[in-house]
Amino acid sequence: MIFRKLRETNKALIIFIAITFVAAGAFVGITSFLGGKSGQNVSLGGTGMYADSTLLTVNGEKVLAREFFLVLENYYNYLHLLPTKEVMDLQNSIIFSLIERSVMGQEANRRGIKAKVTEEEILEVINEYLEDSNISLAELEKQLAAVGDSLKNAKSRVKEGLTERNLLLALEDSIKNEVNITAEDVINEYEKVKVSEIFIEHPENDDYDAYELASAAWQKVKQGLDIESIVNSNPSIIVSQDLGFFNRNSDYNPAIVKYAFNMEIGETSEIIATEDGYHILVVEDRIYAQGDEFEEAKKSVEEDLLALKQYQHFRNTIDDMAYGATVEIHNPALAGYYWYRKGNFQEAVKQLASVTKEISDNSVLIDILANAYFLTGNGDKAFKTFEDAIKAHSNDWELRLAYADFSGKLGDYDTAEEQLQIILEAESDNYDMMENLLPYINRLGSQKQINQIEEIIQLLEEELEAENLTSEE
């Protein structure tokens, strides 16, 4: 069953395995990607960060920059193809996974959990790498020697990674073993009720009496009138819904679930009031926890329910530890993005404002800084952030599009139209740019700009078609 495989897809563990066994060179790549011999504290890709510099601290525990970049290396071949926003999202997800990994290690130590690695496990990883790379052990040793490394060092790194992986898996087991389920839990999971519902939503402007309509509908149900006829009497207000089968653990409104399980097949409920409106339930079928079918299914239901609840408990525990951790990120750009996504707009401003010049060509970070300024009550600084960045990078169309979008959201359509017009005039011979610009103009531009870009696109399409015909001849 699917829940038995949840361990294999745990995000923190997957990220950690990626850190240890880097794709495209689990042994050689560790050195070559960082740009120097093993142990060197080399600079990483013009970021100002060094391999052995502290990228972040989690509850006082240091996480080195090399760990971040070794994960990022997995995406190295197509990173340049991704939009800036997706790159930033990827980097942010790596940061959060490193935080998860750190708090998991700390919790394992707090619980006194130990982990061992056998020589067989190390050899298994090495042999798997050799098979995937289609090389021999001797060839691997040559590759390692070429970058000043050795098989001994590679095996040591594998052992270190496996030790931590095993430690985290042991922690996962420890946390999951805190969960037990009862016979009542199994019954609540197995038993189901099938319900049809008549629903009358609360009016927004008091233009009808929802309870009065619900009362009339209830009377008609009790008289034996079918639900479809009742709905057809006032289809704009009265809605019928087939809620299907659900159990006591359903995500439906608790009042609905509780009422449904106190009813028998064919029974109609009283009018049930919720914050959404008024509900009338009709029970069409029920599955009870009894008989041979239940006895045959009970073990499987118990195993799957236990796996699900253990996984949920594990994820909630790790999420609570990660979100509650004291985190410091020592790269302002990464920190600003992280804190903005966490909803800490003041910290986002603090971090990104300290490197405004350095990030001025990053439309995503400029947009985030401007939004963070606005959300902390600094509207003037928000607009100035965009204006200064555009002054420094006047031909950055992504930046201008972000400024137009930002301005439009705040109702400043004059600024939005101005930015769109600049791109429209400068790139009128660029079909791809016009296609990209079109939805922005449809949403934020004037009718004149809409007509203009539609004419440009039509003309460019005619030119492309003519070129294609010429090339075919």
The full set of domain ranges for the chain reads 2-176, 192-287, 394-473
Residue 473 — pLDDT band, cuts 50, 70, 90? Answer: low
Confidence (pLDDT) at 230 = 85
Is the confidence at residue 314, as pLDDT, over 90?
yes
Confidence (pLDDT) at 40 = 43
What confidence tens digit (pLDDT) does each residue in 389-398 have?
A: 999 999 999 9
As a whole number of angstroms, the distance between CA 327 and CA 176 comes to 26
Domain boundaries 394-473, CATH class: mainly alpha
Mean pLDDT of the chain: 86
Terminal Cα distance for the chain, rounded: 59
Find, among 90, 103, 27, 94, the residue nearest to 65 by Cα.
94
Confidence (pLDDT) at 472 = 65
Beta carbons of 306 and 313 less than 8 angstroms apart = no
Residues near 159 by beta carbon (within 8 Å), at least 6 away in sequence: 117, 122
Residue appearing with tokens 């609570």: 320
Q: Mean pLDDT over residues 104-130, rounded?
A: 92
Domain 2-176, architecture per CATH: Orthogonal Bundle (1.10)
Confidence (pLDDT) at 47 = 53
Is the confidence at residue 267, as pLDDT, over 60?
yes
CATH number of 192-287: 3.10.50.40
Is the confidence at residue 11, as pLDDT, over 60?
no
Is the confidence at residue 441, as pLDDT, over 70?
yes
What confidence tens digit (pLDDT) does each residue in 182-238 have?
A: 999 999 999 999 999 999 988 887 778 889 999 999 999 888 888 888 888 887 788
| Of 349 and 159, more confident | 349
Q: Mean pLDDT over residues 345-357, rounded?
A: 95
The CB density around residue 412, as the number of other CB atoms within 10 Å, is 16
Beta carbons of 111 and 148 less than 8 angstroms apart = no
Q: Mean pLDDT over residues 27-49, rounded?
A: 43
As a whole number of angstroms, the distance between CA 445 and CA 67 comes to 45
Is the confidence at residue 274, as pLDDT, over 80?
yes
Which three-class secondary structure state does DSSP give residue 46? coil
As a whole number of angstroms, the distance between CA 386 and CA 388 comes to 6
- Domain 192-287 matches domain 394-473 at the CATH topology level: no
- Point out which residues pair with 244 in neighbouring strands: 195
As a whole number of angstroms, the distance between CA 322 and CA 232 comes to 52
